[in-house]
Amino acid sequence: MPSLAPRPDLESLPKYVPGRTILGAIKLASNEVPGGPLPSVRAAITDAMGDVNRYPDSGSQALRERLAADLDVPIDRLAVGCGSVSLCQQLIQAVCGPGDEAMFAWRSFEAYPIVTQVAHAVGVKIPLTDGYGLDLDAMLAAITDRTKLIFVCNPNNPTGTVLHRDEIERFIEAVPEHVLVVLDEAYKEFVTDSEVPDGVEFTRTHNNVAVLRTFSKAYGLAGLRIGYAVASAPIAEALRQVYVAFSVNAIAQVAAIASLDAADELLERCQEIITERERVRNSLVDMGYDIPPTQANFVWFPLGERTVAFSEHMLDRKLIVRPFPGDGARVTIGTPEENDLFLAAAREFLS
C-alpha cells in the first residue's frame, strides 16, 4: 500500500523566510511602514468587528466599486486578493498549466518562484543587470513557446531599482500578446522619479498587462492582508475564479476603503519615509557602502558572502534586517530614530 506523503517536489520548494519578530528589537525586515492605523481607519476596523459573525463579501464589491471610481477602470477589470502575494499565486494559477514557464528577474520578490512551483509551472530566473535592475532585453530573449507570464517588479524588491516608462513601453510592445506581463507595484507610493509610469495606464491599451497593488505598504495594513489587481476583464474574471472563497476578510475590506478615504494623510506619512530613505542612502554611500539608488521604502546592500555577518551584527544590536545569504541584505526605512540606530550600527560594521 502506498503511504500518504506530501508531493515529493515540495522538498525542493524554496522557503519564504518572513522577517523575524523579536521582542524589544527594531524590525527593519519586512518593508512595513512604522506608523499604526490612523484614528479614522481604526474606527472603521472597530465598527466592522460588530459583523464578524457574518461571512465577508466574497466579491469585495464595495472595495472594487471604490477602486473602479478612483482608478477610472471598469469594475470587471478589478480583482481583490488576500494580499498581493495571493494575487501572484492566483495569476499563475489563472494562466499557467503544468510545465508552462513563468519568468522573473532574480533576485526579485521571493514569492515568485514559490507560487510558480506550487502551481507545477517552471520558474525562469533572469539575472539582474550590473546596476541591480531588471534586464528586460534578457527577459525578452528568454521568452519561449511555454512562457505564459512575466513578473516585472517595479520598484524591484529587494533592490529598490526602477524601470522607466519608455523601457516598459518597449518591453510590452515586444512581448507576444499571449504572454501576461504582471507589473508588481507594491512600492509605487514611495516612487518620486517622474519617469516611472503608473502601470494601470498600460492595462487600458494592452489586454496582456496586469498590475498588482497592495494595502500592506504605504497604506499600513500589512497585518490585515489585502491587495488588488487591475487587468483585462477576462484575466480579472479568472483571478476571481481561482480565488479561495471568503479569503479576504470583512475587516480588511472595510479598512482598505477607510484607507482610501484617508489616502492624502497616509501618503503624507510616506513623505517622511521618502525623506529618510534619501538621508539613509546618502549616509551609507558616504560611509563607502555600495547601495543602489532606491525608489522604495528599503535599501539594498549587495554584500555577497558578508551578508550573514552583517545581519548577525545588526541582530546583536537588536536590529532585525532581512538577509538573503550569499547575495545581500535588505533594510527597511524606519522612523528617524530607528534609522539613526541602524546607521550607527552600519558604521560600526565597517570598522
- Contact call for residue 113 and ligand PMP (CB under 6 A): no
- Contact call for residue 154 and ligand PMP (CB under 6 A): no
- Contact call for residue 73 and ligand PMP (CB under 6 A): no
Contacts of 33 (CB under 8 A, 6+ apart): 217, 218, 220, 269, 270, 273, 297
Closest contact distance (angstroms) between CB of 170 and ligand PMP is 22
DSSP for 300-340, please give it. Answer: EE--GGGHHHHHHHHHHTTEE-EEETTTEEEEE---HHHHH
Closest contact distance (angstroms) between CB of 225 and ligand PMP is 7
- Copy the grid coordinates of residue 72: 477610472
- Contact call for residue 159 and ligand PMP (CB under 6 A): no
Q: Is the peptide bond before 107 cis (omega within 30 degrees of 0)?
A: yes
- Contact call for residue 109 and ligand PMP (CB under 6 A): yes
Q: Which of 184, 196, 243, 333 binds ligand PMP (CB under 6 A)?
A: 184
- Contact call for residue 90 and ligand PMP (CB under 6 A): no
Closer CB to ligand PMP, 33 or 186, in the complex: 186
Per-residue mark of binding to ligand PMP, 222-261 (x: CB under 6 A) = x----x----------------------------------
Taking CB under 6 A as the binding criterion, the range among 80-88, 120-128, 236-244, 252-260 that sits at the site for ligand PMP is 80-88
- The CA-atom distances, in angstroms, between 43 and each of 47, 190, 337 are 6, 26, 28
- Contact call for residue 297 and ligand PMP (CB under 6 A): no
- Copy the grid coordinates of residue 45: 476596523
Phi, psi of 27 (to 5 degrees): -95, 115
Closest contact distance (angstroms) between CB of 227 and ligand PMP is 4
CB atoms within 10 A of CB 162: 24
Q: How many residues bind ligand PMP (CB under 6 A)?
A: 13
Q: Which of 186, 196, 248, 303 binds ligand PMP (CB under 6 A)?
A: 186
Q: What span, in angstroms and rounded, lies between the C-alpha atoms of 12 and 28?
A: 28
- Contact call for residue 83 and ligand PMP (CB under 6 A): yes
Q: Which of 60, 90, 216, 339 binds ligand PMP (CB under 6 A)?
A: 216
281: left (phi over 0), alpha (psi -120 to 50) or beta: alpha
Q: Which of 29, 31, 92, 139 binds ligand PMP (CB under 6 A)?
A: 31
Which has the closest alpha carbon to 210: 192, 184, 189, 231?
A: 231
Q: What span, in angstroms and rounded, lies between the C-alpha atoms of 89 and 257?
A: 24
Which residues here bind ligand PMP, judged by CB under 6 A? Answer: 31, 83-85, 109, 153, 157, 184, 186, 214, 216, 222, 227
